Structure 1
Amino acid sequence: MNRLYNIILINGKILLAIIARLSFLLSTESKLKKFAKGQQGLIKQIQAEMSCHKNNPTPVIWLHAASLGEYGVARPIIKQLKQRSTCRIVLTFFSPTGYEALHIHHPEIDHIFYLPLDTPKNARTFIDTIHPQKTIFIISEYWINYLNELRMRNIPTFLISAVISRNAPFFKWYGGLFRSSLETFTHFLVLNRQSGENLQSLGYRNFSVTGDPLFDNAIAVASTPYQNPIVEKFACGKDVFIAGSVSDRKDLQLICHLANRYRDVRFIIVPHEISEEVLNDIKFNLDGYALCYSECDADTDFSDTQTLIIDYLGALAFLYRYGKWAYVGGGFTPYLHSIIEATVYGLPVAFGPMIQRKVTPNELMELGIGQVVRSEKELEKWFEALRNEPQQLKQIKNTALDYSRSNSGATSNIIQILA
């Protein structure tokens, strides 16, 4: 099984090299193009950057997040690690979404790289190059060769904000390779008791139920002063519906249907990925006039504009403060995006039905804050029930804020274990 895994990865590396050479055939904004080009010469780039610190005794802590959403877990942990002791932070991303949003400038992170593909050679070379004292993987990252290399070197390795469900590969007939990868981890920091019980059934007792650092991160963002003159001018005096991390065609169908049905409501749509194709697709499906953020300035007249499309990354968690209702994308795939970012502002939030990998959606539904929607009709029904109900919206806001506060503090619990 391990041999098959390595063959797939090595062939994938060859394929990416071909894609990078033929990248002129792909659109400039293509995620695949960005990923393929990001992998080219990556090991040499990392070696060159890290060589400047060859004799630096400061311990390195390596954190890996799949994308920008997972970085929301890493961010408060990085901040407290830096406050607690002198260390250098190496952060890796698998997806261009995270890397492109952060790699140019981030004062708390010393080095940001793409994660080289998980081949045996890459894993050895990368770890030889960065020399991590500790390694932290976020949520559900199980890169077999990296984990094997860390285990052979006895480097403490932690899995944070993990949800171990019965639907995970560990419990499947083909899951032996993934089950063996669990042996690497020094400690599992899981989101709920059920995850701990599932780990126990696999023979692991080295876990703690620590809660979700996403609450700490989202609360910190919500309390950070933020002004966006263009968004404020667009939203001024209007009821605004925020559609965040719109990821696929189903998300788009639901949101555009709602916007077309309620022309007196203003919408802010934040795509999960920015490309000319995605932006044009959104505009094509909207009946009302829509503008991209990049098309606006301080003099833009929004009187006839129903929808503002945010065509840059990294702003969504701040923009929810301008909303009255929210929809979070990704729920028609296994990768629902962060609904916590909307919850900390007290917004009622709707999302698609694939919530098995998350703990928060079910808790929000039990509290009357969140709602699963499977169709345009269900989203419209949910919105209509809340639209002109100020008392209900006020109650939801109070409940959401209390819920967010009660779930804060996970970062401090995690830092105690990491220490």
Structure 2
Amino acid sequence: MRLLYNFAIRAYLFITGIAGMFNPKARLFNRGQKGLLESIRSCVKTESPIIWVHCSSVGEFEQARPIIEWYKRERSRYRILLTFFSPSGYELRKNYNLADWVFYLPIDTTSNARAFLDHVKPVKAIFIKYEFWYNYLHELNARNIETYIVAAIFRPSQMFFKSYGGFFRKMLCNYTTLFVQDNQSASLLKGIGITENVRICGDTRFDRVYQITHSSASFPYIELFAKDHFTMVAGSSWAPDEEIMAKVLKNFPRTKLVIAPHEIGKERIESVVKCFEGYKVIRFSEINAKYGESAGKDISTLPDSLKRLLQESNVLVIDCIGILSSIYKYGKIAYIGGGFGVGIHNILEAATYGLPVVFGPNYMKFKEAVDLLELGGAKSIKNATEFYSFISTLSNVPSELQKRGEISSGYVRQNLGATEKIVSVMEKV
């Protein structure tokens, strides 16, 4: 089975090599793998102990971040090596200032795993959520290096729990501790004989999003745009989400929309603007380009022409990255994209500000979405009619809006503390 796994890894590398001729993300991945081990050897030089943290992409990075910050604050003797598998994660966070080095993960072959660990020599390896790489895990175990998986979620459909899943179950035996999010995950692991090194600690994202509410950036022009209106903030939207919003919001003339598409390429942003034909649409980048620093630090300093533009517009497109988690605070309700595709994006960034959240039908893989639906802080919709009904209720019944918002923020507060639980085990404090 190991031979088949290694063949599959090399086949994946071959396929991405071909895909790179047509696909920008594949091209970035290929470029990132080229000369990667040599770059690591030339850059990673220190006498200090190294903690290696590996994330697949941006979402997993947000789960890793509270742990990285804890180590930098409380155990500053460690150096942090951060790796990503996906181009989207690496490109967005390659300049993260609390990591001493940021790289792509060398593809999981036996030779790469050995060469990587021979040079880096980490004292701890921390994988986030779904990262199971056989050769790295095997080599870490062979070298007696502390190895953890954080915020893991396990489901019966995963290969670990199938009759043919012996090879994959062996991977799990390489972890020093598996920090899982819920009781179901722990029960599944118990069913395959993994019990003593399992800890139910929750999800570190709760700590991260709660932290954001106390340190988020301010955007006075977004504040003025949203002021005195029933404003919805749509995060990480895709075309099916936008079509529903465009169809429904025309029935609510007092409602405004701040929308941050999941992808922000030129063609993608133009398609968003086109979707909202008939609305007065402005782009975040246009405000920055035209007004720049003159946009001011609070509403009172905004130029009159900008004030008029913001007050007259009803859709603001966020065509940049990195600010979504800071702008939910300007909304009354949040729409989280992805539910009509492969799955929803982060709902906790909105919930922590006390916003009811709405999303499409593909949410079952996300524990926080299931929880909030049961509690009443969230609503899943299948079509524009259901969306219309939900918006109508919340915009016309303030008490319902407040109740659902309090449920959302309360849910985040009740689930704080995963970071402290995890590091207390790692550091045995």
Q: Please confirm whether the aligned pair reaches a TM-score higher than 0.5, indicating the same fold.
A: yes
Listed as ranges, the matches of 1:36-185 within 5 Å are: 36-50=30-44, 53=45, 56-85=46-75, 86-104=77-95, 106-185=96-175
Q: CA deviation at 1:333?
A: 4.3
Q: Is the 8 A contact 2:218 2:326 kept in 1?
A: no
Mapped partners of 1:127, 1:273: distance in 2: 35
Inter-CA distance 356–90: structure 2 relative to 1 (3 Å threshold): same
Q: Is the 8 A contact 1:163 1:358 kept in 2?
A: no
Q: Which amino acid aligns with 1:63?
A: V
Residue in 2 that maps onto 1:361: 369
Residue in 1 that maps onto 2:280: 289
Task: Calculate the aligned-residue CA RMSD, in Å.
Answer: 2.0
TM-score (norm. length: structure 2): 0.89
Could you say what secondary structure the match of 1:132 adopts?
coil
Inter-CA distance 117–377: structure 2 relative to 1 (3 Å threshold): farther
Q: Is the 8 A contact 2:355 2:405 kept in 1?
A: yes
Residue in 1 that maps onto 2:256: 266
Mapped partners of 2:373, 2:187: distance in 1: 23
Q: CA deviation at 1:225?
A: 4.7
Could you say what secondary structure the match of 2:354 adopts?
coil
Residue in 2 that maps onto 1:402: 410
Q: CA deviation at 1:318?
A: 0.9
Q: CA deviation at 1:263?
A: 4.3
Identity of aligned residues (%): 36
Could you say what secondary structure the match of 1:279 adopts?
helix
Residue in 2 that maps onto 1:307: 315
Inter-CA distance 316–225: structure 2 relative to 1 (3 Å threshold): closer
In structure 2, stretches of 5+ residues that fail to align are 289-294, 296-304
Specify the structure having the higher radius of gyration (Cα).
Answer: 2
Inter-CA distance 368–130: structure 2 relative to 1 (3 Å threshold): same
Mapped partners of 2:164, 2:99: distance in 1: 38
Matched, 1:382 2:372: no
Mapped partners of 1:331, 1:214: distance in 2: 20
Could you say what secondary structure the match of 1:302 adopts?
helix
Q: Is the 8 A contact 2:247 2:384 kept in 1?
A: yes
Select 2:29's aligned residue among 32, 35, 40: 35
Q: Is the 8 A contact 1:97 1:273 kept in 2?
A: no
Query: Which region of structure 1 is more displaced relative to structure 2, 84-93 or 228-237?
Result: 228-237
Query: Which region of structure 1 is more displaced relative to structure 2, 250-259 or 40-49?
Result: 250-259
Query: Which region of structure 1 is more displaced relative to structure 2, 132-141 or 229-238?
Result: 229-238
Residue in 2 that maps onto 1:5: 5
Query: Which region of structure 1 is more displaced relative to structure 2, 367-376 or 352-361?
Result: 352-361
Could you say what secondary structure the match of 1:198 adopts?
helix
TM-score (norm. length: structure 1): 0.91
Query: Which region of structure 1 is more displaced relative to structure 2, 222-231 or 258-267?
Result: 258-267
Query: Which region of structure 1 is more displaced relative to structure 2, 367-376 or 166-175?
Result: 166-175
Residue in 1 that maps onto 2:204: 213
Q: Which amino acid aligns with 1:64?
A: H
In structure 1, stretches of 5+ residues that fail to align are none
Inter-CA distance 411–295: structure 2 relative to 1 (3 Å threshold): same
Q: CA deviation at 1:341?
A: 1.0
Residue in 1 that maps onto 2:421: 413
Q: CA deviation at 1:334?
A: 4.7
Select 2:215's aligned residue among 219, 224, 230: 224
Mapped partners of 1:311, 1:347: distance in 2: 22
Could you say what secondary structure the match of 1:161 adopts?
strand
Q: Is the 8 A contact 1:243 1:255 kept in 2?
A: no
How many residue pairs get aligned? The number is 407
Q: CA deviation at 1:350?
A: 1.1
Q: CA deviation at 1:215?
A: 0.9
Q: Is the 8 A contact 1:334 1:357 kept in 2?
A: no
Mapped partners of 2:397, 2:104: distance in 1: 46
Could you say what secondary structure the match of 1:362 adopts?
helix
Residue in 2 that maps onto 1:346: 354
